[in-house]
Amino acid sequence: MTTAGAAAFRQAVFQRRSSSDHYSPDEETSERLAALVRPLTESFDSESYSRFRDQLYQSLGFRPVERRLDERILAFLNRLEDCSCLDHSIDRYAEELCISTGRLSHLFREQLGITLKSYLTLHQLEKAYQSILEGSSITDAALNAGFDSPSHFAATVKRLMGMPARSALKDSRFLKVY
């Protein structure tokens, strides 16, 4: 979309609030967006979210931009998907991909918008929770997901989720939906 086209779009869809940088959609656009969101409140899965996202883009006049990831990042993501989770060393992955650790980290952040270390931590958490939901103990799940110890897992969960691992499991209906 050209700069002039983007400006026209913003003028058509949004009304400027008095003396602030906030924008609010007009009534017709609000109703259209609310109609798109309603089905998500009934069932939320990746297919319904993708459908919602596509309809939202279409409704707002945007075309999604297809981004091509660097081959090395795709190879890394594929390796990570098939990993045994015992070793999440950035050095090991960089060596397998014939790239320096610094370049791998930089490229990952540039391509995906998250640091490689953070992504690996989230990957470990996902694997641990998958294992717990399949019936493993927290201790076994933490060790099998690549955490150094159950206390390392517990501290990571508390730091990222703001609650102990047991509470996160007990109180979260979202962990059980996938």
Residue 15 has pLDDT above 50, yes or no: no
Which two three-digit tokens encode residue 76?
A: 């890394």
Q: Considering only residues 101 and 81, tell me which one the structure prediction assigns the higher pLDDT.
A: 101
How far is Cα 143 from Cα 85, in angstroms, rounded to an integer? 9
Residue 89 has pLDDT above 90, yes or no: no
Average confidence (pLDDT) over 81-85: 75
19 — pLDDT class (breaks 50, 70, 90): very low
The β-bridge relationship of strands 23-25 and 14-16 is: antiparallel
Q: Considering only residues 1 and 133, tell me which one the structure prediction assigns the higher pLDDT.
A: 133
| pLDDT tens-digit map of 20-48 | 444 566 777 777 777 777 776 666 666 77
Q: Considering only residues 54 and 44, tell me which one the structure prediction assigns the higher pLDDT.
A: 54
Residue 137 is predicted with a pLDDT of: 87
Give the chain's domains with CATH numbers. Answer: 3-60 (no CATH), 71-176 (1.10.10.60)
Nearest to 36, CA basis, from 20, 23, 50, 24: 50
- CA angle 34-39-133, nearest 5°? 130
Residue 50 is predicted with a pLDDT of: 73
From the number of C-beta atoms within 10 Å of its C-beta (0-12, 13-18, 19+), residue 104 rates as: buried
Residue 107 is predicted with a pLDDT of: 93
Residue 86 has pLDDT above 50, yes or no: yes
169 — pLDDT class (breaks 50, 70, 90): low
- CA angle 158-77-130, nearest 5°? 40
The 3 state secondary structure assigned to 64-93 is CCCCCCCHHHHHHHHHHHCCCCCCCCHHHH
Residue 20 is predicted with a pLDDT of: 46
- Say what the pTM is: 0.58
Residue 171 has pLDDT above 60, yes or no: no
Which two three-digit tokens encode residue 144?
A: 């099998």
Which two three-digit tokens encode residue 69?
A: 């990831």
104 — pLDDT class (breaks 50, 70, 90): very high
Q: Is 21 left (phi over 0), alpha (psi -120 to 50) or beta?
A: alpha
